[in-house]
Structure 1
């Protein structure tokens, strides 16, 4: 595939991921939504299946990283072109902005019905259950470590064509159920930064702060976790 097509696939895949992932959070959080109050299980299933669909959509055009932490991990291992790292990450962040914007449009009448500014922000970006930067960072490192190690391990298995994206979705579902409680499991800088930018710039009714003071945690933590997983994988004897 051409470089331009691969870059576009990262933009499109991340947009679909955020549309379906943030979409389920908005459905659960916003007042008068038919999914209002559906809870954490609905959110984690929605994100897991949303990722699976995003990988299916992006995967035939490129590697379907749709996550800067994954892109950097593969580049660090020498399995991905260093020259495409920055274009991929830019495309992923832009995809996150666009996906979040479409969520805003899809739920347009419901923002004004919701007076919970934290719930509105959660429909775009992550926030910790208990704000403790060190602990929050550790959680994001662990979650992304499991994500990248899982992705690398799936690649070493002999799987039927087309089955891998579904297993990736199950992997993220598992991470969300087991490790998502403390921070909302960003495990993807573009998934958090892109929608946070959208939250900042869009005229969303009843929104509050975009919480930029926390925004560095779901960027730095996933990158560290992904690089640690790549480092471990490179020393595993095959």
Structure 2
């Protein structure tokens, strides 16, 4: 049964909502005053985001592909691995999902924002900034662009590799074609047992792939989180930043500038990195 495109859009929205809810929820838990997890550090955030990505990949990979990231969607489309006709809908669903996910984080941690009453810390639970900001906007943007583009290249290249090459679909197709060429009944017990074994292997491969993607993000946030916090996802940064912009102080405590001067970096740089990654992957393996 093939899921309709509306179901795929919904899956992308819910998947991105879960990503932001768990990921930015972890940041809030670690950084906001009064939280029992306050002070657990960057490694906790990396693991929180790794699990936050693994969750929708496991749930929605067979439905929408579980892109949950415009950089992934645009990268795949640019390499001819995803239809352009559905790119805008996927990105819109991802952005809406990110906004809803952040609203849920705010609902959970409202009182902790008020206890913290620090605009910089609050913004950090919504969107990314650059550690070089005090050295000037130009340095911060250049460093942020390089960091986000390289980090997203690694993320998208890994995601495509983990989910394209070895998910078992090729072996299932091979069994069916080989049986048909030999004139065998594809519904016979012997052929079906081979197909079933292949399906089981594909399912196991999916689990391993999802785990690998989650662990990859843990490593990438640990590596690339120092300069920028490692957005690696335009929706994950832009959606929550929009939420922060409209939130009153009565909800998030003291507010700081939303830093729109920097906001283009975690949107454009991941897209550039994702497109390059998908293109390189296609040139190598397709």
**234, 239, 258: which is aligned to 1:194?**
239
What's 1:177 paired with?
222
Q: 1:69, 1:188 within 8 Å by CA — same for their partners in 2?
A: yes
What's 1:47 paired with?
49
1:102-140 CA deviation, whole Å, 9 max, x = no partner? 000011211110122111000011111113211210110
**216, 219, 223: which is aligned to 2:264?**
216
What's 2:152 paired with?
144
Q: 2:119, 2:253 within 8 Å by CA — same for their partners in 1?
A: no
1:99-118 matches, cutoff 5 A: 99-118=101-120
Once the 2 structures are TM-superposed, how far is the Cα of residue 237 of structure 1 from its aligned partner?
4.9
> How far apart, CA to CA, are the structure 1 residues paired with 2:77 and 2:272?
14
> How far apart, CA to CA, are the structure 2 residues paired with 1:51 and 1:152?
14
- For normalisation by structure 1, the TM-score amounts to 0.96
Runs of at least 5 residues in structure 2 that lack an aligned partner in the other structure: 134-139, 168-203
> How far apart, CA to CA, are the structure 1 residues paired with 2:59 and 2:19?
10
**157, 165, 183: which is aligned to 2:166?**
157
What's 1:225 paired with?
273
Q: 2:118, 2:253 within 8 Å by CA — same for their partners in 1?
A: no
> How far apart, CA to CA, are the structure 2 residues paired with 1:81 and 1:120?
38
* Range 153-162 or range 141-150, more displaced: 153-162
Larger Rg: 2
Runs of at least 5 residues in structure 1 that lack an aligned partner in the other structure: none
Are residue 21 (structure 1) and residue 23 (structure 2) matched? Answer: yes
Q: What is the count of residue pairs matched by the alignment?
A: 238
- For normalisation by structure 2, the TM-score amounts to 0.80
Larger fraction in helix: 2
